[in-house]
Structure 1
Amino acid sequence: MDYKITVSIVYYDTDFNVFSETVNSLLNSSCVSRIYIVNNSGGEIPQYDDGGRIEIITPDRNIGFGAGHNLIIRDRYDILGDYHLICNPDVYFDGDVTRNLAVFMDSNPDAGLAVPKVLSVNGENQYAAKLLPTPADLAVRMFHQYLPDSFVERFNRLYELQDYSGDKSLRTGNLSGCFMFLRKSVLKKSGFFDERFFILMEDIDFSRRINTAAGSYYVPSVFIYHHRGRGSYKYFKQRMIHINSAIKYFNKWGWVFDSERKSVNRSLISVLGSS
């Protein structure tokens, strides 16, 4: 089957060599019909031999991750493909990835979102699927360097679902935002990115809303590579942004009482016990 897949990338000061890997991976995919680049940096970005498939949108300021993607998935909704890819500017992959995810979506009509296995450039698993976080979970993630290594390892083993070794898809409301393969029609049910989140936590909020409206799936049989710095855990400014986003997230979904979180996490832990 021929697919027409549209893509949006929000670019902000990514190394040009890394960014070019992303763009070339998309251009080498025959399924990708249109690539929208939202240039939040405001400066010049490289030009590519794109066959007319790339459109660059430059806001008058850095509007953030979710708002940048909303310029495409909300404001250009009527001209998106049946499937749309939200893609970070620091990933790369082979040309079959987008087709394979489209085939998965065709085979799973309840799926609104599919996220592949995400590997670092040296092949380590970045664990794209996780439990829905509690405030305590995020505190451990942000301040892990002050905690015993053995405790952090046990915590990450569960929170990152590290014991899930199967190749079958796994449904969860917390999926990485670096490569989100969407069924266009689900956006009418789930809504678009919540622009209260400038950056960080918006992917959890987005994927759990899609999981409620349809289904958000981790698809480990398909994989991509991702350059990642995890700056929000290393640098003070990014950590403060992360804390601010976390406060907005828990104000929205609940700090202590979150019945959906409890149900989703219980189901995931059950799957881990049987995998």
Structure 2
Amino acid sequence: MPLQLNPTFGHELSQAQRTLYGGWVSSGSAVAAEIMAGSGLDMLLIDMEHAPNGLESVLAQLHAASGYPLSVMVRVPAGEPVIIKQVLDLGVQNIMVPMVSTAEQAEQIAAMAQYPPHGIRGVGSALARSGRWNRVPNYVNEAADHVSVFVQIETEQGLANTAEIAAVEGIAGILLGPSDLAASMGLIGQQTHPDVVSAVKTAFAQIDAAGKPAGVNAFDPAAARDYAASGARWVLVGADVVLIARGSEKLAADFIHHPTTSAAELPSSN
């Protein structure tokens, strides 16, 4: 029976009438992915760069999120042809490649996600979930329509080359990473420093001028709203592991560090 794949996140961004909001899944857990997928967010980003994820765990998270109406993206650990081929063959329709600093890198990455003659992606869709084992009609010839490739600008060199990177054909959009940008600018740990924020907003304007959607990572709510007001088309506003970490710390603060009942006030068992 012929199957139809979901629209890509690139398509969703082109149709959106507002800023879209997403969250990271950094735990490697399919359960966490499903909880996040059912939250009402517009998209999820499953991380392979800084999270304990391999192909099998990413596949499990794709399955867990597949029943919910949101886009799912996977950040690969590096812009390598074999990695990108394997992740796309899992059925991932939206990929993110970190640490892209030149247009040449972006061109190479775009080629990795397309079949010849336009790219270098190896053909194996009959054996893979990407084309649903040949159940998606004409997948090989139309694969580029089923995949959105996003890159991250995270260095001063990348900032200097933003306009050229954004102009690369086959790149659907760009995510700014303020944490690594801050480190590259000598301001490590200061992702909301005015110089970092200003650089990100300048990049927004250049990306928009190229006709591409700009996104940003911003876990601070005030920063996220400010970036949205300044032209971000999509903002990543949290992560499963951060939500658990801060939530569990609040429980400890509420019940251990500031208990409502002291041991002296507890009733005796005698």
Q: Which TM bucket (shorter chain)?
A: under 0.3
Structure number with the higher strand fraction is 1
Structure whose CA Rg is larger: 2
Q: Which has the higher contact order (CA 8 A, sep 6+)?
A: 1
Normalising by the residue count of structure 1, what TM-score does the alignment of the two structures yield? Answer: 0.26
